[in-house]
């Protein structure tokens, strides 16, 4: 894997390990209050970003342009911001976390729309 394919998949591996550690911590402490944080850690960070990585690996021409770079950075930054917000909200600081969760959510959605824009012509051709 090279370029944006490898970068997305490498980041997915990191989110998988961190998200599972959070799940294990929740299980060990019997405190499941961070469940939404854990769910989005693994489902966006691990599953969705791994799919992005595989897509760019399967269709390398889609991975080597400015749109794909923008997609990578928008998705990565938005997820970190979203997770920070979720941590704060479900850690008992909703006023602090909500603006981060709102901005991160919008960024995650926009990054998916950008990905749809990149992937659509390829999957329809
Ligand atoms: C070491 C691995 C993992 C551990 C120890 C773990 C642990 C947990 C725990 C303790 C909960 C809370 C359950 C509850 O309160 O009902 C949970 C929920 C959840 N986990 Fe994990 N998890 C792991 C890996 C994963 C992975 C790999 C995924 C998805 C790719 C995942 C997706 C979810 C989801 C979606 C929920 C929320 C379920 C719901 O809404 O009821 N987890 N996990
Ligand atoms: C713009 C991005 C997203 C936003 C704003 C968002 C928002 C939310 C919200 C508000 C909840 C309810 C949490 C609660 O009841 O405490 C939720 C739950 C959930 N979301 Fe998302 N979500 C997003 C993306 C995704 C994606 C991409 C996936 C899967 C690939 C996903 C999977 C889930 C699951 C499994 C739950 C239930 C987990 C739980 O009960 O904690 N979400 N989401």
Angstrom distance (rounded) from CA 86 to CA 64: 32
How high is the mean pLDDT of the chain?
97
Q: Whose CA is nearest to atom 30 of ligand 2?
A: 43
Decide if 18 contacts 60 (C-beta within 8 A). no
Task: Say whether pLDDT at 110 is over 90.
Answer: yes
> Which residue ranges have their beta carbon within 6 Å of ligand 1?
20, 23-24, 26-27, 32, 35, 38-39, 42-43, 46-47
Task: Say whether pLDDT at 1 is over 90.
Answer: no
Mean pLDDT of 1-8: 94
Q: What is the per-residue pLDDT for 72?
A: 98
Task: Say whether pLDDT at 125 is over 90.
Answer: no
Q: What is the per-residue pLDDT for 96?
A: 98
Q: Looking at the 3D structure of the chain, how many domains does it have?
A: 1
Decide if 102 contacts 85 (C-beta within 8 A). yes
Angstrom distance (rounded) from CA 73 to CA 20: 23
Decide if 45 contacts 15 (C-beta within 8 A). yes
Using one digit for the tens of pLDDT, what is the confidence trace for 13-54?
A: 999 999 999 999 999 999 999 999 999 999 999 999 999 999
Residue 41's domain spans which residues? 3-124
- Among residues 45, 25, 48, the alpha carbon closest in space to that of 35 is found at 25
Whether ligand 2 lies within 6 angstroms of the CB of 44 is answered as yes
Task: Say whether pLDDT at 92 is over 90.
Answer: yes
Angstrom distance (rounded) from CA 82 to CA 120: 26
Decide if 12 contacts 41 (C-beta within 8 A). no
Q: What is the per-residue pLDDT for 98?
A: 98
Torsion of CA 38, 43, 46, 51, to 10 degrees: -170
Instruction: Using the atom order of ligand 1, give the atom closest to the CA of residue 26.
Output: 10
């Amino acid at each position: 894997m090279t370029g944006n394919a490898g970068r997305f998949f490498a980041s997915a591996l990191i989110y998988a390990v961190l998200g599972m550690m959070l799940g294990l911590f929740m299980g060990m402490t019997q405190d499941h209050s961070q469940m939404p944080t854990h769910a989005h850690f693994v489902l966006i960070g691990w599953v969705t970003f791994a799919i992005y990585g595989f897509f760019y690996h399967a269709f390398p021409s889609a991975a080597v342009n400015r749109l794909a770079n923008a997609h990578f950075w928008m998705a990565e930054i938005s997820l970190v911001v979203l997770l920070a917000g979720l941590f704060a909200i479900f850690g008992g600081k909703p006023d602090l976390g909500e603006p981060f969760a709102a901005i991160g959510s919008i960024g995650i959605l926009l990054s998916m729309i950008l990905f749809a824009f990149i992937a659509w012509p390829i999957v329809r051709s």
